Structure 1
Amino acid sequence: MYVVHFFEDKVEILNQLLGSVPALGDPLTIKGRKGKVTGVNQVDDKHVHVQITVEKVAAKNKPTAADLSKKKKR
C-alpha cells in the first residue's frame, strides 16, 4: 500500500492510500475533473508524489449586458 499525494501546480489536491501507483500518462478523475499524470516522484518506501494536469472546463453562457437590460426591473 502506498500513500499517494496528488499535486496540481504545487497545490495538493488529494491524498489516497492505494495499492498501486498511477503511471505516467494515465488518465485520472479527481473530484469530478478529468486529468492526466505528468510526473511521479517516489519520496520513500510508502509515499509517492504525483503531478497531474487537469483539463480546463469550458465556461457556460454568461448573460451579456443586452440580456440584462431585457429583464424586468422591480
Structure 2
Amino acid sequence: MVTIHFFENKFIVLSQLLNHIPSVDENIKIKGRKGKVVSVEQMGENKFHVHVLLEQATKKKLLAQEDSKKKKR
C-alpha cells in the first residue's frame, strides 16, 4: 500500500492509502467531482504526489422572477 496525496493548484484535495497508483491522463472522481490526472511524482519509497485538474462546480442561480413570487413576512 502506498500513500497518495492528490493536489489541485498546490492545495491538497485528498490523501489516501491505495494499492493502485493512478497513471497520467487517467479519469478519476474525487469528492463527487470529475477530474484528470496531470502528473505523478514519487516523493519517497511509498509516497506519491498526484496533480489533478478537476472540473469546476457549477452553482445554480435563482431567477429574479422566482424571488418576487415568494411572500415576504
TM range (shorter): 0.7 to 0.9
In structure 1, what is the equivalent of residue 64 of structure 2? Answer: 65
In structure 2, what is the equivalent of residue 22 of structure 1? Answer: 22
Q: Which amino acid aligns with 1:43?
A: M
Runs (4+) off by over 6 Å: none
Q: Please state whether the residue corresponding to 1:22 is helix, strand or coil.
A: coil
Looking at structure 2, the residues matched to 18 and 67 of structure 1 have their Cα atoms a distance apart, in angstroms, of: 47
Q: How many residues align?
A: 73
CA deviation after TM superposition for structure 1 residue 16, in Å: 1.0
Stretch deviating more after TM superposition (50-59 or 34-43)? 50-59
Looking at structure 1, the residues matched to 27 and 65 of structure 2 have their Cα atoms a distance apart, in angstroms, of: 41
**Identity between Structure 1 and Structure 2 (%):** 45
CA deviation after TM superposition for structure 1 residue 24, in Å: 0.2
Looking at structure 1, the residues matched to 18 and 65 of structure 2 have their Cα atoms a distance apart, in angstroms, of: 51
Unaligned runs of 5+ in 2: none
In structure 2, what is the equivalent of residue 6 of structure 1? Answer: 6
Looking at structure 1, the residues matched to 63 and 12 of structure 2 have their Cα atoms a distance apart, in angstroms, of: 36
CA deviation after TM superposition for structure 1 residue 65, in Å: 3.1
TM-score with structure 1 length normalisation?
0.85
Looking at structure 1, the residues matched to 71 and 37 of structure 2 have their Cα atoms a distance apart, in angstroms, of: 49
Task: Provide the aligned C-alpha RMSD in A.
Answer: 1.4
CA deviation after TM superposition for structure 1 residue 57, in Å: 2.5
